[in-house]
Amino acid sequence: MAETRERWSSRSAFLFAVIGSAIGLGNVWRFPYITYENGGGAFLIPYLIALITAGIPLMILEYYVGHFTQSAPPTAFKKIWHRAEWAGWFAILLIFILSTYYCTIMGWSVNYLFHSFSLGWGNTAESVSSFFNNSILQLSESPSAFGGIRLPIVGGLALIWLFIYLSLFKGVETLGKIVYFTVIIPWLIIVVMVVRGLTLPGAMEGIKFYLTPDFSALLKPKVWLAAYGQIFFTLSLAMGTLIVYASYLHEKSDITVNAFLTSIANCLTSFVAGFAVFSTLGYLAQSLGVSVKDVTTSGIGLAFVTYPMAISLLPVAARFFAALFFLLLLTLGIDSAFSMTEPVVESIVDKWRLKKKYVLPVVCVFGFLIGLPFTTRAGLYWIDIADHFITNYGITTVGFLECIVIGYVLGAKKARTYINQVSEMQIGIWWDIFIKFLTPAFLGISLVFQFVNFIRKGYGGYPIWTTYIGMGFIVVLAIAAIILAKRKGAV
């Protein structure tokens, strides 16, 4: 029933919503770290190639699927090919699990925001890492030692879900207003952090470290995999969000220009945020009298250990900048978080014609409950493991299926004709070539490559049974998706 479908109130509301979904925790810690790990400045080459050869074509494809079918992923795929509905459910289940731990990480940030006012983590390497591991997480010694839930994290998690509920319950029109704040506030904070960072002593050493190109990295397959992985993660691809958001567009609105604008805005934000992070790390290295290499930590540790420590050492207004940084993480993350919940709710509403006002609170409560294991003392391990399997296998599989269904079953040319009819900018045959051959070939190779690696080594130094659980879980989600697709809907 397209005529009763909710709508964005303007084109910019849609653009801000998608940019808000794309820009998240991934831009602040993941991008800078991945860049320097994979050749520094030289990494920007595979990154740009990945953006052009996979990011933008797939984004156009997802906007098309939402725009054309006016439905959430399961129904959308069903309308394109009756056998493809399960692929939509698979994406929805993956994003639902992703949302449960993404919100847990935000729950940590809530705690850190409170402690910013007293700089509770101190200013030595030991005190900062002990604050994270012992005070906040009370991390246990292994993934099997759950040891009870951490109430302060549960409190933060509940607050985040409440926020998600409040942002979504009035519908997309209100959502379209909230996203202006959740995009513009972090942009302003990033500008402040870049200026502060670049004016610190030692900043240039950090920037050099970030951007000095190591061209030999371009010969390593791992670097190319990292570039494609980062593009998929950062653009919120293959998880249903873009399809749902595009389904709220009017039937005549543009697709291609919107896809270029959103992906470029996201990638520029990452690039700029890298200056804030690395200038500050340069300062930290200089304060400690070590090289930048010795202070950089990967992933989660960067945001919750290294960066807070650097902030504690600031000459003036350290508490202010600490609070600003965690406010940055929260405002960056919240619009990504609700963009993970909306597709789940909308998929259920679409299939069974239920009322959104009843589905939304149920999804939020379940999301909160399923997140509880991640708030236990073994939570950090499980977040790491879940994230590895969901982002590496889940996103790749869904992206691959999308290319096959649109490229072959429907026909890339047919999709392109529709896209060109509604868009301000025309796309050529290159798009068909990417969707039918290059993008699925790359995704297929990367899936096989990672699978072989997993058989050989397991993941991340954890006991091997955790790898079986991770892999088994993905299989269970796929089976659950098939069962959901077989259930009778309301239409």
**Site residues, ligand TRP (CB under 6 A):** 21-22, 24-27, 95, 233-234, 236, 239, 241, 336, 339-340
27 vs 312 by CB, closer to ligand TRP: 27
Minimum CB–partner distance for residue 456 and ligand TRP (Å): 27
In whole angstroms, what separates CA 120 from the centre of its chain?
28
Measure the CA–CA gap between 31 and 319, rounded to whole angstroms.
Answer: 26
The values of phi and psi at residue 149, to 5°, are -85, 155
340 vs 485 by CB, closer to ligand TRP: 340
394 vs 470 by CB, closer to ligand TRP: 394
User: Between 464-486 and 85-116, two packed helices, what is the crossing angle to 10 degrees?
Assistant: 130
Minimum CB–partner distance for residue 391 and ligand TRP (Å): 7
24 vs 308 by CB, closer to ligand TRP: 24
27 vs 296 by CB, closer to ligand TRP: 27
234: how many CB neighbours lie within 10 A of its CB? 24
User: What DSSP character marks residue 149?
Assistant: B
Minimum CB–partner distance for residue 26 and ligand TRP (Å): 2
Closest to 340 (Cα-Cα) out of 8, 21, 10? 21
Measure the CA–CA gap between 230 and 327, rounded to whole angstroms.
Answer: 24
Minimum CB–partner distance for residue 30 and ligand TRP (Å): 7
CA dihedral 35, 41, 43, 46 (to 10 degrees): 140
Asked if 359 and 203 count as a contact pair (C-beta separation under 8 A), the reply is: no
Residue with tokens 């690039």: 271
97 vs 324 by CB, closer to ligand TRP: 97
318: left (phi > 0), else alpha (psi -120 to 50), else beta?
alpha
Minimum CB–partner distance for residue 76 and ligand TRP (Å): 16
Closest to 5 (Cα-Cα) out of 81, 88, 66, 83? 66
Residues in the chain: 491
Minimum CB–partner distance for residue 395 and ligand TRP (Å): 7
300 vs 314 by CB, closer to ligand TRP: 300
Minimum CB–partner distance for residue 3 and ligand TRP (Å): 28
